[in-house]
Chain A
Amino acid sequence: MAGKSGREISAEVKGGIRSKILSWEGALILILVAVNILGVVISPNYNVSNVLREMPRYLAEIFMMFGMGYILVLGDIDISVGALVCLAGTVTVLSSNAGLPFGLAVVVCLLVGLLGGMLNGFIATRFTELPTMIVTLGTQIIFRGIAEVLFETWGNGGGTASMTDTKGLMLLAQKIGPFPIAFFCVIIVGIIMITVLAKTTFGRKLYAIGSNKTAAYYAGIKVEKMRFICYSLLGMLAGLCALFLLTATFGSNTTTGQGFEMEVIAMCVFGGIATTGGKGNLIGGFIAAFIIVCLRIALGQRNINTQVILVIIGLMLIISVLVPSISNSIAARKKRSAA
């Protein structure tokens, strides 16, 4: 369902695409179940309350997965989000320490994210010849660079700052029953983002742009405006991610958010969203995110070498894109021999 195999699929009849996408999500759910069974089998401590307790740090990343899904559907990519999380978190911590009330600090956090996203969007739409990977590579270094300068000039120096007034963060870190607040927020944001992408004209337009930018342009879609909106949205979600990450760390430092961009992209791709644009949906990404989180928690409880976990995730990523492609080509060969 990912990669160039998309071209072969689109050559088939419409019903085929639909049922296949459906089946990919079905497979993902099966994998999620399998991972959970695996967790219970290999670790005596793998149960609902422990998994939910370990989850908040990972949940923060899932917010960005939704935004990244939009960007990937457009056929773009954004690798600056990890650094943007760092910048948003840093500004929030420092402004809160300077006496800003928590409510306003939350607004500042989201606003910094939004502004960062808008900067990405501005450069990406103004210089359309530039690959978005390079634009966001540049802003990635810049965002983290700004955070470093802020630590030194505004904070106490030393590349790290922690929030002195943590009351507000404690409130956000609370649990309703066994469920952390972040969990509900992810579900709510998820439902909105999934519905917008799947059921509205806005979402359809994104697919149109991702499939064929020129055709979308001539069909009257304001391509650059849409791209700008998506980048801004992802930026704001990065702000949200920073906020919920703060509830776990109560502070920020120069390494905050390192490598998040790749983990988020991995979640999307594992969920069936193609980096070439126009394919996949967020439900898949949503399930895939939980697969990766559950797998990490399960293996973590078994004290498997953390680097081996990364190897396993890498293998899963490749297998998950290879399998549909191979089974497609087998099907195609069968069809040819039957005909």
Chain B
Amino acid sequence: MKKKVLSVLLATTVVASLLAGCGSSAAAPAADAAPAADAAPAADAAAPAASSGGATYALVTKSAGNPFMERMASGFQEAVEASGGTVVIQNPEAATPDAQISVVQSLISQGVSSIAVDGNDANALTAVLTEASNAGIKVLSLDSDVAPDTRAVYCNQAGVQQIGETLMEAVYDLTGGEGDWAILSATSQATNQNAWIDAMKKLMESDSKYAKLNLVEVAYGDDEPQKSTDQTQALLQNYPDLKVICAPTTVGIAAAAKVLQDQKSSVKLTGLGLPSEMAEYIGDDDAHSCPYMYLWNPIDLGRLAGYTSIALVDGSITGAAGDKFTAGELGDYTIEEIDGSTQIILGPPFKFDPSNIDEWKSVY
């Protein structure tokens, strides 16, 4: 019987030794060497000693396994490390607020100086972020906002209104000013997508320019390739007169682009997508499904959040409207008051078309 206890202890030791190897020793059979080697330094980078003197700046992304988040994190890391701070980047195990709560709790324990969070839900993080503020941690949000009174400032990639107008204008242009169009969104609770779609709907009501456009359906692909594919095909079959699909989500737009291109459909696509994901599908001719699309630079967004974190921690800004600061090579920014909350706006969305896609597809 003692032997068994011993063997269990042995098992524990195995587990413990795994921690030291940080998983790379468990790299499974046939895992090719190149990416595994890439993974190891990243894991190390994400685990710096919290006790190395200077301030520690934390970034909590939406979830692991998302290239947009990865680029954002790299920009954040770059900005903070350039000014000598320590970076902690945490990717929650799933894109849920529950997972983010655990991660933020852990960061509070570590006593970091600031937490920049990309919220999976607007309100679910309220309690834990308030706790962080009470512990003296500066809280800011980026990409997807959280409840305004729980954070100092929100680094917005572009104003909601601005994105709505840009996308609406693209739809107007691609349809030729009249006809059926549809939206393929992410999940039904995605805060950003819902805000943009609302902005577009309001524009259609208020501006007579868009009177001849007919939004037939808002479909949800849940950011799953398979479901997005099913939904796109259903849109094509249900609305034979459809002219344009607008997909303001990176997973959805790639899935829709593939469906349209494979079927050689005459329906055109626009929206928000990553250039590296969409390079295959962007082109002016009929062989390509997406003439152009938009996005902001996730690296710059991460950088902006990094500089904002530093400014919040060293006290040069408090997050009040009118505060000005310099965000390194990005230039000067002023905190604005928009819809009753304080925001920093990165800039207008960037247009990707056949002329510049080749240069951007390897960047992000």
A23 touches B4 (CB 8 A): yes
B5 touches A26 (CB 8 A): yes
Question: Assuming A253-B121, A319-B11, is B93 touching A309 (CB within 8 A)?
Answer: yes
Residues of B within 8 A of A257 (CB): 98
Question: Assuming A54-B102, A249-B101, A300-B106, is B1 touching A20 (CB within 8 A)?
Answer: yes
Residues of A within 8 A of B15 (CB): 312, 315-316, 319
A310 touches B4 (CB 8 A): no
A50 touches B127 (CB 8 A): no
Residues of A within 8 A of B187 (CB): 159, 254
Q: Of the candidates A20, A306, A323, which one forms a contact with B99 in the assembled complex, judged by CB atoms under 8 Å apart?
A: A306
A160 at the interface (CB under 8 A from B): yes
B88 touches A327 (CB 8 A): no
Q: When each residue 66-91 of chain A gets 1 if its CB lies under 8 Å from chain B and 0 otherwise, what string results?
A: 00000000000000000000000000
Q: A193 vs B128: C-alpha distance in the bound complex, in angstroms?
A: 31
A307 touches B102 (CB 8 A): no
Could you tell me the distance in whole angstroms from the C-beta of A167 to the nearest C-beta in chain B? Answer: 13
Residues of B within 8 A of A173 (CB): 127
| Residue in chain B with minimal CB distance to A328 | B4
A128 at the interface (CB under 8 A from B): no
B216 at the interface (CB under 8 A from A): no
> Which segment, of A27-35, A110-118, A119-127, A220-228, faces chain B?
A27-35
Q: A309 vs B46: C-alpha distance in the bound complex, in angstroms?
A: 14
| Residue in chain A with minimal CB distance to B64 | A307
Taking CB atoms and an 8 Å cut-off, the chain A residues in 293-330 that contact chain B are 296-297, 299-312, 315-316, 319-320, 323-324, 326-327
Residues of B within 8 A of A50 (CB): 109
A315 touches B18 (CB 8 A): yes
Taking CB atoms and an 8 Å cut-off, the chain A residues in 8-41 that contact chain B are 19-20, 23, 26-27, 30-31, 34-35, 38
A42 at the interface (CB under 8 A from B): yes
Would you call the interface of chain A mostly helix, strand, loop, or mixed? helix
B8 at the interface (CB under 8 A from A): yes
Question: Assuming A31-B12, A34-B12, A249-B97, is B106 touching A311 (CB within 8 A)?
Answer: no
Q: A183 vs B225: C-alpha distance in the bound complex, in angstroms?
A: 41
B188 touches A158 (CB 8 A): yes
Question: Assuming A45-B109, A173-B127, A304-B19, is B102 touching A160 (CB within 8 A)?
Answer: no
Could you tell me the distance in whole angstroms from the C-beta of B55 to the nearest C-beta in chain A? Answer: 16
Residues of B within 8 A of A256 (CB): 96, 98
Number of residues on chain B facing chain A (CB within 8 A) = 59
B19 touches A312 (CB 8 A): yes
B214 at the interface (CB under 8 A from A): no
Question: Assuming A30-B5, A158-B188, A320-B11, is B64 touching A253 (CB within 8 A)?
Answer: no
Could you tell me the distance in whole angstroms from the C-beta of A288 to the nearest C-beta in chain B? Answer: 12
A148 at the interface (CB under 8 A from B): yes
| Residue in chain A with minimal CB distance to B111 | A45
B5 touches A311 (CB 8 A): no
A204 at the interface (CB under 8 A from B): no
B330 at the interface (CB under 8 A from A): no
B46 touches A30 (CB 8 A): no
Q: A151 vs B14: C-alpha distance in the bound complex, in angstroms?
A: 46
Could you tell me the distance in whole angstroms from the C-beta of B74 to the nearest C-beta in chain A? Answer: 16
B126 touches A250 (CB 8 A): yes
B19 touches A299 (CB 8 A): yes
Question: Assuming A19-B1, A255-B96, is B47 touching A250 (CB within 8 A)?
Answer: no
Q: Of the candidates B3, B43, B102, which one forms a contact with A327 in the assembled complex, judged by CB atoms under 8 Å apart?
A: B3
B162 at the interface (CB under 8 A from A): no
Could you tell me the distance in whole angstroms from the C-beta of A109 to the nearest C-beta in chain B? Answer: 17
A196 at the interface (CB under 8 A from B): no
Residues of A within 8 A of B97 (CB): 249, 253, 255
B4 touches A27 (CB 8 A): yes
A44 at the interface (CB under 8 A from B): yes
A303 touches B101 (CB 8 A): no
Residues of A within 8 A of B91 (CB): 305-307
Known: A248-B101, A303-B88. 8 other contacts (CB 8 A): A20-B4, A57-B101, A148-B188, A255-B96, A305-B46, A306-B93, A311-B26, A320-B8
Residues of A within 8 A of B (CB): 19-20, 23, 26-27, 30-31, 34-35, 38, 42-46, 50, 53-54, 57-58, 148, 151-152, 157-160, 162, 173, 245, 247-251, 253-259, 296-297, 299-312, 315-316, 319-320, 323-324, 326-327
Q: Which 3 residue pairs are nearest across A and B when measured between Cβ atoms?
A: A159-B189, A162-B123, A300-B106
A-B contact pairs, 27 of them (CB 8 A): A19-B1, A27-B4, A31-B8, A35-B12, A38-B19, A42-B19, A44-B51, A160-B124, A162-B122, A249-B101, A249-B121, A249-B125, A250-B124, A253-B97, A253-B124, A257-B98, A299-B19, A300-B105, A303-B47, A304-B47, A306-B64, A306-B92, A308-B23, A312-B18, A315-B18, A324-B4, A326-B7
